[in-house]
């Protein structure tokens, strides 16, 4: 039986934080053995907000190296760079022409990011989810493992696929496979260390709001020491304690303990006792990833070969889908 397909990606913008790891990459690693996997570094998405051309290539290497360092296994998974496979841009254009503008104007992430950009907001930012739909649909992905913030984009992807199938396909031969979001409960929404009601985000101006995958043990100690807590005695999971929920949740994920185990262990603790425990658990979880990352980054030629092979594998799948779509839309092809 052929394995089902997984596709997902991360943008090479700034440092990856533990939200990206726990909401997405950690799940890719766990799932990969049962699926046929494509993981891309979505560098075309990275320029939808102002970016630095001097660091884009290096940031792309960093993300690819982090995929490997976190445990993506090339025996099961393909790693590639989105801009290396031109079918992504081409399919995005075709999908643009079937996607109603008001579907995009409704996107929460667009509204949030657009506010920050004022008059300079680009068409690319509005179009971001259509390119994301192209990424997913090109690979006939069955499952798309992401954090909770991507749920709306996945719904849009499904709606675009359904619209194209309805307009240009037929029931027996659908053009696109309809993908499912795969959002795991634990870690799907890691919150800011400075405000437990806000998502941990790469674009938060405060470095203290997030723990990056490549933070040193000293950085991690400092950030957890300074993170926001509440004045309530005893620690427990409670809806009206967002900081406590987030920090206990992180502790549970990093130590592999269940909510019940964490509750039993921490219910009588104060922050002064808990914070060093969380700090050590975080450092223990991130240290092996960082060591592997340093090793991979010393071998750029190896990374180049991984990305070259990834591009070839991705292209061989994407070109078939793109041809299927172009045929369905009626494009002229010239016989060789």
- Interface residues toward ligand TYM, by CB under 6 A: 7-11, 19-20, 23-24, 42, 45, 132, 135-136, 144, 146-147, 149-150, 153, 188-190, 199-200
- Give, in order, the Cα–Cα distances in Å from 288 to each of 146, 203, 217, 221: 23, 26, 12, 17
User: 15 is written with which tokens?
Assistant: 């440092």
Unique residue bearing structure tokens 């591009």: 311
Q: Annotated catalytic residue: which of 113, 151, 177, 257?
A: 113
* Residue 275: both structure tokens together: 């914070």
Q: Which is nearer to ligand TYM, 190 or 247 (CB)?
A: 190
**128 vs 280: CA distance, rounded Å:** 38
- C-beta closer to ligand TYM: residue 48 or 255: 48
The whole-angstrom separation of Cα 117 and Cα 28 is 32
Catalytic residue status for 311: no
Question: What would the two tokens of residue 296 be?
Answer: 């991979």
Cβ closest to ligand TYM, residue 9 vs residue 325: 9
Q: What is the DSSP letter of 41?
A: E
Maximum CA extent, the chain: 76
Q: Are 112 and 68 in contact (CB under 8 A)?
A: no
Q: How far apart are CA 45 and CA 141, in angstroms?
A: 19
The two structure tokens encoding residue 172? 């027996």
Beta carbon of residue 45, minimum distance to ligand TYM (angstroms, whole number): 5
- Separation CA 145–CA 184 (nearest Å): 8
Residue 193 near residue 229, CB atoms below 8 Å: no
By beta-carbon proximity to ligand TYM, the closer residue of 211 and 303 is 211
199 flagged as catalytic: yes
- Decide if 180 contacts 142 (C-beta within 8 A): yes
Please report how close the Cβ of residue 154 comes to ligand TYM at its closest, in angstroms.
Answer: 8
Least spacing, CB of residue 203 vs ligand TYM, in Å:
9
257 is annotated as an active-site residue: no
CB of 85 to ligand TYM, least distance (A): 12
To the nearest whole angstrom, how small is the minimum distance from the Cβ of residue 146 to ligand TYM?
A: 3
Residue 101 beta carbon to ligand TYM: minimum distance, rounded to whole angstroms = 19
Rounded Cα gap, residues 197 and 243, in angstroms: 8
Residue of 4, 151, 177, 202 marked active site? 202
Residue 151 corresponds to which tokens in the numbers above? 């749920």
Q: Given the complex with ligand TYM, which of 40 and 306 has the nearer CB atom?
A: 40
DSSP state of 191: B
Indicate the residue whose CB is closest to ligand TYM: 23
CB-wise, 219 or 265, nearer to ligand TYM?
219
In the bound state with ligand TYM, the residue whose beta carbon lies nearer, of 7 and 65, is 7
Output the smallest distance, CB 271 to ligand TYM, in A.
22
Give the pair of three-digit tokens for residue 284: 């223990």
Across the chain, the runs of DSSP E, i.e. the strands, are: 4-10, 35-41, 77-81, 143-145, 180-182
What are the catalytic residues?
113, 199, 202
């Amino acid at each position: 039986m052929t394995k089902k397909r997984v596709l997902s990606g991360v943008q090479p913008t700034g440092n990856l934080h533990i939200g990206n790891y726990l909401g997405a990459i950690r799940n890719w690693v766990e799932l990969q053995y049962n699926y046929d996997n494509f993981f891309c570094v979505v560098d075309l998405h990275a320029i939808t907000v102002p970016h630095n051309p001097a660091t884009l290539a290096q940031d792309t290497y960093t993300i690819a190296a982090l995929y490997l360092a976190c445990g993506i296994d090339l025996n099961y998974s393909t790693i590639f760079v989105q801009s290396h496979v031109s079918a992504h841009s081409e399919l995005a254009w075709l999908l643009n022409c079937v996607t109603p503008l008001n579907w995009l104007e409704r996107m929460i992430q667009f509204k949030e990011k657009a506010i920050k950009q004022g008059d300079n907001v680009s068409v690319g930012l509005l179009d971001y989810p259509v390119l994301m739909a192209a990424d997913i649909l090109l690979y006939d992905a069955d499952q798309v493992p992401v954090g909770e913030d991507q749920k709306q984009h996945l719904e849009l992807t499904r709606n675009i696929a359904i619209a194209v199938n309805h307009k240009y396909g037929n029931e027996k031969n659908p053009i696109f496979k309809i993908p499912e979001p795969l959002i795991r409960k634990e870690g799907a929404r890691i919150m800011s260390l400075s405000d437990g009601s806000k998502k941990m985000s790469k674009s938060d101006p405060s470095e203290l709001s997030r723990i990056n995958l490549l933070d040193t043990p000293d950085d991690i100690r400092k950030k957890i020491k300074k993170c926001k807590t509440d004045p309530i005695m005893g620690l427990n999971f409670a809806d009206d304690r967002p900081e406590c929920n987030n920090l206990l949740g992180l502790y549970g994920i990093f130590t592999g303990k269940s909510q019940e185990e964490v509750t039993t262990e921490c219910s009588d603790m104060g922050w002064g006792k808990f914070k060093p425990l969380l700090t050590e658990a975080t450092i223990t979880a991130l240290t092996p990833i960082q060591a592997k990352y340093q090793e991979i980054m010393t071998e750029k030629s190896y990374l180049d070969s991984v990305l070259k092979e990834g591009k070839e594998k991705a292209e061989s799948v994407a070109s078939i889908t793109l041809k299927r779509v172009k045929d369905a839309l009626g494009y002229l092809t010239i016989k060789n």
